[in-house]
Each structure stands twice: as structure tokens, then as C-alpha cells.
Amino acid sequence: MVVLDTNIIIQYIKNDRRVVSWITRRILQQERFVISTITVIELLGYKYLQEDERVAIERLLSDLHIIDLDVGIAKMAAVVRATYGVHVADGAIIATALLLRLPLVTCDAKFKKVKGLGVIVPA
């Protein structure tokens, strides 16, 4: 099981070859994918989202395990944000992975600096 960062889902929807290939391999290995409710907000809250993109996102969301933001995640996100200077949404996604003790799949290699966080950047 792994936590998917928002940027991974965006690249998947956009048919980024390396991300689609990575996710397809993991699906064949019966990997389970987890996202934060923050990712749902980021994906569906994009001002210029096209209807076909919205449909694709909704279809994908139905196959993912979504972790609600709770006080524990919020407090960990605050620590991550204060320590590493990340945006609020990134802090919440990182905190979700940290508290679940799962690696974070992201296109953002700078998250490797977060102590205790396993980071996978699809290649």
C-alpha cells in the first residue's frame, strides 16, 4: 500500500508515460493506493478542470482508499510545515503517509528531505 500525491494523479490523468507505466505495474501486483481528502480537494477544486477530466478523476477516486483529515494528521502536518516549509496541502499529504507508515508516491523529489518519509518518484 502506498499514498499517492496529488501530482501523481494529475500526471496519470494526463497520460504521463512514466506515471501510467508505474501505476499499471503496481496494479498488476495488486498494490492498493491511498490518498488524502486534501488530494480530493486539490483535484476537484481546480478552476479550469474540464468535464472529461472531472469524470476521469471521479472514476479514479472510486478505486482509491481515501483517508480523512483528522486532528492527528492536522497536528503532524503543522509540524511538517513548520519544519520543512511545505505548503499546507503538501504537509497534510506527507503527514498522512507518515502516520500510516506508508511511502509517498510523488513527482516532487524535494519531499525526500522529510525525515522518516519513504518517497517513491516513478521512473
* pLDDT tens column, 34-45: 999 999 999 999
d(CA 95, CA 53): 27
CATH of region 2-104, choose from 2.60.40.1510, 3.40.50.620, 3.90.1310.10, 3.40.50.1010: 3.40.50.1010
Closest to 59 (Cα-Cα) out of 105, 6, 2, 13: 13
Q: Where are the domains of the chain?
A: 2-104
The proportion of the chain whose per-residue pLDDT surpasses 90, expressed as a percent, equals 91
Is the confidence at residue 123, as pLDDT, over 90? no
Query: Residue 116: which pLDDT band, with cuts at 50, 70 and 90?
Result: very high
pLDDT value of position 41: 96
pLDDT value of position 121: 96
* pLDDT tens column, 71-110: 999 999 999 999 999 999 999 999 999 999 999 999 999 9
pTM given for the model: 0.94
Average the pLDDT over 20-39 and give the result.
96
pLDDT value of position 87: 96
The phi-psi region of residue 63 (left if phi > 0; otherwise alpha if psi is between -120 and 50; otherwise beta) is: alpha
Q: What is the DSSP string of 37-93?
A: HHHHHHHHT-TT--HHHHHHHHHHHTTSEEEPP-HHHHHHHHHHHHHH---HHHHHH
